[in-house]
Amino acid sequence: MLPSVLATSLAIGSSFTAGFLLAYLWYVAVHYASHHWHAEPRGYFSGVKRRHAVHHYVDIVGNFGVTTPLWDHVFGTQVVDGPVAKRP
């Protein structure tokens, strides 16, 4: 928080820090859920789990975005769904 407060003001720095912490909390919750919760077929969360499984179990490096594919599109790391199989 201190660097953002020093760079701007108390109100803006605190707002930035709160937004960053909430975004990180959302990321942690979705990442945990993608490993441990059951998702209904064809729903948003089912797609999140599928993308994350491809990230872990397909030999192509990509799908780094856990909560959204936005940055994978921006940086060209989007992996098209393929069969999900464990690496040998």
User: Are residue 57 and residue 88 in the same domain, yes or no?
Assistant: yes
The encoded tokens of residue 55 equal 């990230």
Give the pLDDT mean for 5-26: 91
Chain segment 17-75, per-residue pLDDT in tens: 999 999 999 889 888 887 888 878 877 788 888 887 887 777 777 888 877 888 888 98
pTM as predicted = 0.61
Residues 21 and 46 placed together within one structural domain of the fold: no
Same domain (yes/no): 29, 43: no
Residue range of the domain that includes 43? 38-88
Same domain, 63 and 44: yes
One domain, residues 50 and 22: no
* Of the candidate ranges 11-15, 67-71, 75-79, the one whose mean pLDDT is the lowest: 67-71
Q: Is 57 helix (H, G, I), strand (E, B) or coil?
A: helix
Judge whether residue 80 has pLDDT over 60: yes
Q: Are residues 33 and 43 in the same domain?
A: no
Residue 60 is classified by DSSP as S
Nearest-angstrom CA–CA distance, 66 and 22: 15
Residues 48 and 65 in one domain: yes
